[in-house]
Amino acid sequence: MSRPGSPPASRQISATSECERSPRRRFGYVRRLKSGRWQASYVDRAGRRQRADGTFATEVAAEKWLASVEVDLERGEWIDPALRRQTFADFVTWWLASTIHLAPTTKDNYESVLRVHLLPVLGPMWLGDITTVVVRDLLACIHELGRKPKTIVNVRNVLSAILSTAAAVGAIRANPVHGIEVPRDGPTEMVFLEPEQILALAHAITYPEIRRGGGEHRRESYPQYGLAVELDATTGLRAGELWALRRGRIHLAAGELEVLESVSESHGKLVYKPTKNYQRRRVPIIPSLRTKLAEHLAGLPDDPDTLVFTAPDGGPVRHVNYYARHFRPAVRAAGLPERTRFHDARHTYAALLIGEGAHPRAVMERMGHSSITTTLNVYGHLFPRIHDELTNNLDATLREAEAARAQMAAGAESMGKVISLRRRKR
């Protein structure tokens, strides 16, 4: 009776008739071919016969190879030869199809990085041939081409995610990207708008310069876009959250709105999904905007799923179009810094809250950050009041302790004098 994983008897007889077979061993098989060289093979844990990539000059060399494979299996470091010989392009096809947690925009970004930077170089290579040296050379080449640090970081991170999966499924022993340092891009400079600048931007979007030839700016005014700017700068919504806002999530009586979903564009299609951190939050609406919102909502259908802001044709707002056709021209018309981005309205909201003395926890909740650490990392430099308050409180605590100690010392001294006088009277 053959042991589990051994070849059928018919194959054993056939193999014996063609070449010499060495005696049975504890792990694997070694046989001598007609050429005089030796071939080594073994049965993996999935019951599949695996053979060495080449042959060996001696039986001892073949047995040493089997011994190394056995050690790898015992240590959990065994590499599947079939997967190792899979090309990077083939593995990426499976990886993209099986990575189901990515947001559509993130997946688009990964596909772009693969198409432009990774597949042209690594696509035809076997996974097992992609070493740390290969990766470092690739990233150095991208750097020499003058790509921005952000691009290089993105390439490294995408490649690392792919090869981490390759290591997890046993196609490679370890991720060759691990530990490779790349240039870091400095943080994007934020633009904090003054209240007067917010109103100027809203006015410029509401009443744009009419372009010749009609097109997107053939109307005299876009009041809903001006309202969107004011609402965004006083609620801190992300762009996708603003354009996904629905009528049923604005509660004017309570003076607040609910943030439940976001919209993004992927391959020309709009995708509605939960917010960035999958968090549901309520954000107050300032009283001066409630009347404007009420007037705007009065002109919309009563359906609670109706989008609050729409494109000129009545469909959903596509942020790319809005940004190019309305926001950028309004930034220039309002005389704002050229680097002003739509996201700076969100930063402005955070700055306004902090300027009013808001606690970091309150800022975190209104901004929809996943943790207070995120809030402090992004806006920590805007919290000088908190540092001053902590310093002053600490100073006051120590002064109170010193005063109490001095008072106790004075009390003890006066008590000692009273006792001394009583003793003299006796």
Round to whole Å and give the CA distance between 312 and 225. Answer: 10
Round to whole Å and give the CA distance between 66 and 172. Answer: 18
Ramachandran category for residue 5: left, alpha or beta (phi over 0 → left; psi -120 to 50 → alpha)? left
Tokens of 190: 């934020």
Strands 49-51 and 261-266: unpaired
Round to whole Å and give the CA distance between 260 and 258. Answer: 6
- CA-to-CA separations, 118 to 58, 111, 143, 262, 348, in angstroms, rounded: 41, 10, 14, 30, 38
Round to whole Å and give the CA distance between 93 and 96. Answer: 5
Please enumerate, as own/partner, the contacts of 372-381 that have beta carbons within 8 Å and a separation of 24 or more: 378/350, 379/347, 379/350, 379/351, 379/354
Q: Quote the strand ranges of 180-322, DSSP E.
A: 250-251, 256-259, 261-266, 269-274, 281-284
Q: Give the neighbor-by-neighbor strand order of the sheet with 29-32.
A: 20-21, 29-32, 38-43, 49-51
Buried b (16+ CB within 10 A) or exposed e, 251-281: eeeeebbbbbbbbbbeeeebeeeebeeeeeb
Q: What is the predicted pLDDT for the residue at 216?
A: 55
Round to whole Å and give the CA distance between 365 and 385. Answer: 19
Please enumerate, as own/partner, the contacts of 263-271 that have beta carbons within 8 Å and a separation of 24 or more: 263/316, 264/103, 264/104, 264/105, 264/240, 265/105, 265/318, 265/319, 265/320, 266/104, 266/105, 266/107, 266/108, 267/104, 267/108, 270/316, 270/318, 271/104, 271/105
Which residues are within 8 A (CB) of 97 and not within 5 positions of it... i.e. 6 or more apart? none
Residues in the chain: 426
The SS3 of residue 63 is helix
Token match 């090309």: residue?
A: 87
Q: What is the predicted pLDDT for the residue at 301?
A: 94
Let me know: does 205 contact 340? Beta carbons within 8 Å. no
Token match 């991720």: residue?
A: 175
Ramachandran category for residue 310: left, alpha or beta (phi over 0 → left; psi -120 to 50 → alpha)? beta
* DSSP result, 147-180: --HHHHHHHHHHHHHHHHHHHHTTSSSS-TTTT-
H/E stretch holding 289: helix 287-298
Q: Which residues of the chain have pLDDT under 70?
A: 1-25, 76-77, 82, 186, 211-218, 384-390, 412-426
pTM for this entry: 0.65
Which residues are within 8 A (CB) of 122 and not within 5 positions of it... i.e. 6 or more apart? 88, 89, 130, 134, 138, 159
H/E stretch holding 409: helix 384-425
Q: What is the predicted pLDDT for the residue at 251?
A: 95
Which amino acid is present at 394? Answer: L
